[in-house]
């Protein structure tokens, strides 16, 4: 999955009640998740999923909030569990 958009609030603007500290930007990301689901009966299953992604922002590189927040949202994930379908 590829995403493109605009980031309007970094992690600390909500805490301090300030406006948009990031400024004009273009936010880009690429993410993917792969998983397997095994049905143990007609109404239940177990699953294993893993994946990850990378996010970055393009804009004024002298803005410390844009630089600090540009990597937030990047990372890896691993999930496993069970589902019950009603």
Task: Please state the pTM of the whole predicted model.
Answer: 0.64
CA distances from 18 to 27, 39, 71, 81 (A): 20, 49, 21, 39
Rounded average pLDDT over 30-40: 96
Q: 72: which 2 tokens? A: 């937030």
User: Which pLDDT does position 33 carry in this prediction?
Assistant: 94
Specify the pLDDT at position 51: 96
DSSP state of 7: -
> What domain range includes position 72?
2-84
> 46 near 82, Cβ under 8 Å?
yes
Number of folded domains that form the chain = 1
C-alpha angle 66-71-74 in degrees, rounded to nearest 5: 150
CB 33 within 8 A of CB 77: yes
User: What pLDDT shows up at residue 1?
Assistant: 78
pLDDT of residue 72: 85
pLDDT score for 77:
94
């Amino acid at each position: 999955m590829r995403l493109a958009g605009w980031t309007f609030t970094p992690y600390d603007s909500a805490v301090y009640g300030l406006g948009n500290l990031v400024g004009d930007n273009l936010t880009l990301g690429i993410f993917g998740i792969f998983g397997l689901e095994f049905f143990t009966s007609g109404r239940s299953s177990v699953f294993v999923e893993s994946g990850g992604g990378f996010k970055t922002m393009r804009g004024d590189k002298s803005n410390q909030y844009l630089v600090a927040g540009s990597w937030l949202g990047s990372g890896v994930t691993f999930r496993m569990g069970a589902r019950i379908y009603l």
